[in-house]
């Protein structure tokens, strides 16, 4: 893998500098995600499926390495074991095989001064997996900038409504990292 310095701001900081940019950034993120998800899976040697991450999060839970104080409101007050049980119960709902970033947060996408995507960082979870992994994290982060940005993101991806079961799965899985 070849890397180089990226000049610009994270997508989140870019929007914070001018909140009117939220919808345009959401659409740019969706276009980037569509290009990433179109990479042929046969060209990707990494597995980022829910099944591949289950042994990892089981070990993290067993070792007490989950920060339960950092859980989202949906899981506030839950134990790590309870969140893991939820992931295990929902794991069968993961579907689709695309190349995913794995942590498609606004902090991991860098935009240039003109708002175009310069690149992405933190690709440690990149691999073949359920596209909802990226869709959920991007959608969740855009929620900090309003429902209009979230809707623009989904619309640009061709999604009318989020699949709530898959959203719950990936929200719970994300809690364990």
The closest of 160, 125, 84 to 137, measured between CA atoms, is 125
Tokens of 4: 């180089």
For every residue of 52-117, DSSP letters joined together read: HHHHHHHHHHHTT---GGG--GGGTT--HHHHHHHHHHHGGG----EEE-S---GGGEEE-TTS-E
What pairs with residue 129 in β-bridges? 98
The catalytic position among 43, 47, 103, 174 is 103
DSSP letter (8 states) at residue 165: H
- Cα angle vertex 56, ends 85, 92, to 5°? 45
43 labelled catalytic:
no
| DSSP secondary structure code for residue 47 in this structure | B
User: Which residues belong to the active site?
Assistant: 103
């Amino acid at each position: 893998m070849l890397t180089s310095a990226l000049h610009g701001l994270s997508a989140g900081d870019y929007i914070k500098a001018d909140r009117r940019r939220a919808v345009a950034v959401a659409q740019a993120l969706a276009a980037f995600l569509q290009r990433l998800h179109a990479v042929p899976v046969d060209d990707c040697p990494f597995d980022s499926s829910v099944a591949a991450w289950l042994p990892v999060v089981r070990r993290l839970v067993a070792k007490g390495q989950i920060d339960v104080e950092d859980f989202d409101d949906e899981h506030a007050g839950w134990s790590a074991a309870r969140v893991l049980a939820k992931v295990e119960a929902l794991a069968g709902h993961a579907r689709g095989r695309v190349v995913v970033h794995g942590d498609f947060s606004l902090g991991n996408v860098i935009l240039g001064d003109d708002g175009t995507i310069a690149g992405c960082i933190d690709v440690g979870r990149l691999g073949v997996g359920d596209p909802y992994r990226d869709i959920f994290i991007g959608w969740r982060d855009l929620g900090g900038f309003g429902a209009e940005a979230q809707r623009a993101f989904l619309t640009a991806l061709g999604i009318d409504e989020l699949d709530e079961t898959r959203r719950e799965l990936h929200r719970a899985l994300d809690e364990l990292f």
